[in-house]
């Protein structure tokens, strides 16, 4: 008996052993192995992203430019799709079974996967959404995610505003905030102010039961985060002026930029041809995008105002005059001859017929090529520098201080630098030490390798209007109603050019005033508002570009405009009138020259290029 009672130890031993094995097993599956936790989350939780409302965009007078409209994406998590009535489902969505299978295949294949949710049907209408939502519980694996779409009540400023698009793989790899398919700004200020506009996504954890029914939020929302709305932007744009400018620029290829010189605020920025920004929203987006990108003449997707580099042409003569005066190699009374061209180089660059010799004011008024070739030569061969290259470096230094050949640093996305050729640049072309002023003489008249964007062009006028300083041109005035947001601090810094003597500017400005009073722009006077202007052409491989720069009024200027119309000939034919109408519209609010307005609105340079020959007048 005694021996048998010892068996209790074996029995207890077996019981404890089993207990220990079970506890170890529990330790493994509960503490060490994470797969069960993941599986539990995947099947019992649905993570819904709450997309914040993207910030609205207003013009300077609080007119709405961009708002949002709700849309609903039907999402699918293929792993959870089981036992659904496919026919019923297809009927609800109005798709065929083949389409259904195709979409499912897409949801399963890379880059999607059965375990990853992806968009099954994009942007359901609110009506479709309403009818679908009620029965969605019958289709496990499917759910709806609400999104916002951009809407543009005024259909203007498409390039400046830019558009939003879905984040691709590259974006998501770079910034983990985005998931594939999220919307983000792709261009324009949608891109440059993305972080302000987007707000912050919220995440909700919804519990599901085995039948995919919502069982409320997990832990009463303890782990949920709330979406924070994006901040609204107040732009510096004057919607009325912008709209008017776009109308005037209809059927013309080019760009207009208007800046308030006293603040650097961009009042209007037009790229033409443009498009209705609403085309880039919704399900027709891809189709419209392809259509617009196929227009090889107008290239409506090309944002000329900041992305196109044009030779500045005649307007650069203003900079030449300023540099010449500043360097002391030119005075207001300096006279140079013109023989239908620049005499020392046998009449090249060529010029048009006008009186000769002329003083500076006259040369600005007539835009004499010969005169400014002389000025350029005298600057580059200035003996005080001992060397042509040192003089050239100085010239380039001053020119770039006018924000040429360098980005303005505006808040418009994707700005081109333009080009003011460096010494190295010419050394490469001509060989070190084997080029001189006469080699690159056409720089003096704004040709050669000079490149300037319409935005830089307008900023240049603003600098002259301000007599030597500028604020970085910008398009956003206030963020969330706050003009003092630190993001905008950089637009409150005054930048000075290397030419600070206002007397020098006065001479050039006087020349520009003369052009309006009795010169090339005499036909474009505005009653009661004396203003300054410079007409010009920019030589081009095809027909010359029509250029016009101006600011008004002459004293305390409120608006500076740079305008360029491709292949439109002389500056006062199209560019000048459009700029004039814009100034009047902005400063007076009404147009006193309906005849001019009508002519500009009706002018079609795209579709009638061939028969609309305009005689060159200089």
Partner 1 sequence: MLRSQNNTSIFYNVDWITVLTYLVLILMGWLNIYAAVYNEEHYIITDITQKYGKQLIWIGTSLLLALIILIIDENFYTAFAYFIFGAFLLANIAVPFLGREVKGSSSWFRFGDFGIQPAEFMKFAANLALAKFLSNQNIKIADYKSTIVSLLIIGIPAIIIMKMQNETGLAIVFVAFIFMLYREGLSVNYLLLGFLAIILFILALMINNLYLFIIIAALCAIALLFIKRNAKNLFIIAAIGIVACTMVRGTTYVYDHMEDHQKTRIDVLLGRGTVNLKDEGYNVNQAKIAIGSGGFLGKGYLQGTQTKYNFVPEQDTDFIFCTVGEEWGFLGSTFVIILELFLIIRLIFMAERQRSPFSRIYGYGVASVFFFHLTVNIGMTIGLAPVIGIPLPFFSYGGSSLWSFTILLFIFIKLDSKRLQILR
Contacting positions for partner 1 (CB under 8 A)? 4-5, 7-8, 11-12, 14-16, 18-19, 21-23, 25-27, 29-31, 33, 35-37, 39-41, 43-45, 82, 207-211, 215, 218-219
Shortest distance (Å) from residue 114 CB to partner 1: 13
Which two three-digit tokens encode residue 320?
Answer: 């030449």
Q: For residue 480, count other CB atoms closer than 10 A to its CB.
A: 13
For residue 556, the 8-state DSSP code is S
Q: Give start and end residues of each alpha helix (H) in 205-257.
A: 239-248
Kindly report the CA angle at 562 between 560 and 563, in degrees rounded to 5? Answer: 140
* Cβ-contact 263, 85 below 8 angstroms: no
Three-class DSSP category at 435: coil
Shortest distance (Å) from residue 9 CB to partner 1: 10
Shortest distance (Å) from residue 67 CB to partner 1: 39
Closer CB to partner 1, residue 25 or residue 588?
Answer: 25
Closer CB to partner 1, residue 23 or residue 70?
Answer: 23
79: left (phi over 0), alpha (psi -120 to 50) or beta: alpha
**Alpha carbons 400 and 417: distance in angstroms, whole number:** 11
Closer CB to partner 1, residue 5 or residue 556?
Answer: 5
**Alpha carbons 13 and 18: distance in angstroms, whole number:** 9
Which two three-digit tokens encode residue 115?
Answer: 């375990």
Shortest distance (Å) from residue 81 CB to partner 1: 12
**Chain Cα centroid distance, residue 38:** 43
Shortest distance (Å) from residue 42 CB to partner 1: 9
* Cβ-contact 253, 298 below 8 angstroms: yes
Closer CB to partner 1, residue 33 or residue 276?
Answer: 33
Closer CB to partner 1, residue 6 or residue 602?
Answer: 6
Closer CB to partner 1, residue 157 or residue 205?
Answer: 205
Instruction: Give the CA-trace dihedral at 116, 69, 154, 490, to 10 degrees.
Output: -60
- Residue whose token pair is 């418009």: 412
Shortest distance (Å) from residue 409 CB to partner 1: 53
Closer CB to partner 1, residue 138 or residue 340?
Answer: 138
Closer CB to partner 1, residue 41 or residue 105?
Answer: 41
φ/ψ of 174, rounded to 5, equals -80, -40
Closer CB to partner 1, residue 83 or residue 615?
Answer: 83
> In sequence order, what DSSP letters do the residues of 334-389 get, joined into one string?
--B--SSB-GGGTS-SB-----SSB-HHHHHHHT-HHHHHHHHHHHHT-GGGSSHH
Closer CB to partner 1, residue 33 or residue 69?
Answer: 33
Residue 50 belongs to what H/E stretch?
strand 45-50
Closer CB to partner 1, residue 82 or residue 616?
Answer: 82
Residue 496 belongs to what H/E stretch?
strand 494-496
**Chain Cα centroid distance, residue 77:** 36
Alpha-carbon distances of 245 from 156, 230, 254, rounded to whole Å:
10, 30, 12
Q: Which residues contact 188 (CB under 8 A, 6 or more apart)?
A: 158, 159, 160, 161, 162, 163, 303, 412, 413
Shortest distance (Å) from residue 22 CB to partner 1: 6
**Alpha carbons 32 and 461: distance in angstroms, whole number:** 70
**Alpha carbons 371 and 383: distance in angstroms, whole number:** 20
Shortest distance (Å) from residue 18 CB to partner 1: 6
Shortest distance (Å) from residue 116 CB to partner 1: 19
Shortest distance (Å) from residue 90 CB to partner 1: 24
Shortest distance (Å) from residue 120 CB to partner 1: 22
Closer CB to partner 1, residue 27 or residue 425?
Answer: 27
Shortest distance (Å) from residue 212 CB to partner 1: 10
For β-strands 254-260 and 469-471, DSSP reports them as: unpaired
Shortest distance (Å) from residue 160 CB to partner 1: 49
For residue 75, which of 126, 127, 133, 131 has the smallest C-alpha distance? 133
Q: Give strand ranges (E) for 515-598.
A: 532-538, 545-552, 559-565
Closer CB to partner 1, residue 36 or residue 425?
Answer: 36
**Chain Cα centroid distance, residue 109:** 35
């Amino acid at each position: 008996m005694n021996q048998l009672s010892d068996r209790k130890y074996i029995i207890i031993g077996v019981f404890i052993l089993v207990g220990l094995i079970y506890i170890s097993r529990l330790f493994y599956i509960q503490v060490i192995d994470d797969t069960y936790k993941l599986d539990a989350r995947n099947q019992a939780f649905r993570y819904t992203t709450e997309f914040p409302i993207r910030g609205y965009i207003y013009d300077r007078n609080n007119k709405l430019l961009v708002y949002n409209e709700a849309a609903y994406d039907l999402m699918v998590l293929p792993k959870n799709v089981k036992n659904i009535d496919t026919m019923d489902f297809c009927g609800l969505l109005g798709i065929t079974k083949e389409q259904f299978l195709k979409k499912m295949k897409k949801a399963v294949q890379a880059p999607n996967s059965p375990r990853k949710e992806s968009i099954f049907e994009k942007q359901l209408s609110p009506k479709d959404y309403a009818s679908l939502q009620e029965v969605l519980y019958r289709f496990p694996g499917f759910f709806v995610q609400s999104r916002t779409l951009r809407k543009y009540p005024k259909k203007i400023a498409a390039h400046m505003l830019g558009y939003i698009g879905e984040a691709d793989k590259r974006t998501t790899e770079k910034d983990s905030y985005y998931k594939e398919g999220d919307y983000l700004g792709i261009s324009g200020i949608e891109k440059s102010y993305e972080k302000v506009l987007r707000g912050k996504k919220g995440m909700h954890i919804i519990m599901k039961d085995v039948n995919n029914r919502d069982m409320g939020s997990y832990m009463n929302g303890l782990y949920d985060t709330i979406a924070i709305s994006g901040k609204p932007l107040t732009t510096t744009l004057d919607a009325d002026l912008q709209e008017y400018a776009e109308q005037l620029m209809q059927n013309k290829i080019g760009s207009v930029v208007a800046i308030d010189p006293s603040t650097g605020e961009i009042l209007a920025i037009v790229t033409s041809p443009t498009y209705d920004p609403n085309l880039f929203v919704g399900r027709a987006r891809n189709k419209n995008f392809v259509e617009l990108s196929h227009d090889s003449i107008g290239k409506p997707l090309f944002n000329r105002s900041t992305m196109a580099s044009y030779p500045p042409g005649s307007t650069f003569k203003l900079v030449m005059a300023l540099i010449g005066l500043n360097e002391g190699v030119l005075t207001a009374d300096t006279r140079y001859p013109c023989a239908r061209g620049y005499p020392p180089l046998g009449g090249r660059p060529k010029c048009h017929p006008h009186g000769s010799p002329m003083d500076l004011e006259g040369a600005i008024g007539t835009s004499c090529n010969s005169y400014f070739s002389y000025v350029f030569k005298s600057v580059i061969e200035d003996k005080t520098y001992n060397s042509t290259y040192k003089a050239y470096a100085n010239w380039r230094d001053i020119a770039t201080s006018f924000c040429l050949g360098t980005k303005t640093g505006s808040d418009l996305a994707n700005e081109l630098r333009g080009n003011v050729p460096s010494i190295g640049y010419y050394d490469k072309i001509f060989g070190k030490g084997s080029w001189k002023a006469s080699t690159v003489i056409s720089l003096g008249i704004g040709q050669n390798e000079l490149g300037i964007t319409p935005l830089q062009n307008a900023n240049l006028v603003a600098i002259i209007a301000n007599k030597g300083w500028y604020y970085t041109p910008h398009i956003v005035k206030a963020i969330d109603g706050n003009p003092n947001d630190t993001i905008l601090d950089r637009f409150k810094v005054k930048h000075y050019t290397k030419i600070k003597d206002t007397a020098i500017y006065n001479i050039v400005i006087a020349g520009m005033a003369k052009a309006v009073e009795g010169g090339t722009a005499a036909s474009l006077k505005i009653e009661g508002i004396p203003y300054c202007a410079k007409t010009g052409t920019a030589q081009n491989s095809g027909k010359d570009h029509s250029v016009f720069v101006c600011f008004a009024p002459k004293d305390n200027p409120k608006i500076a405009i740079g305008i360029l119309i491709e292949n439109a000939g002389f500056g006062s034919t199209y560019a000048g009138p459009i700029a004039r109408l814009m100034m009047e519209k902005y400063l007076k609010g009404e147009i006193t020259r309906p005849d001019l307005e009508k002519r500009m609105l009706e002018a079609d340079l795209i579709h009638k290029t061939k028969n609309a020959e305009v005689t060159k007048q200089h």
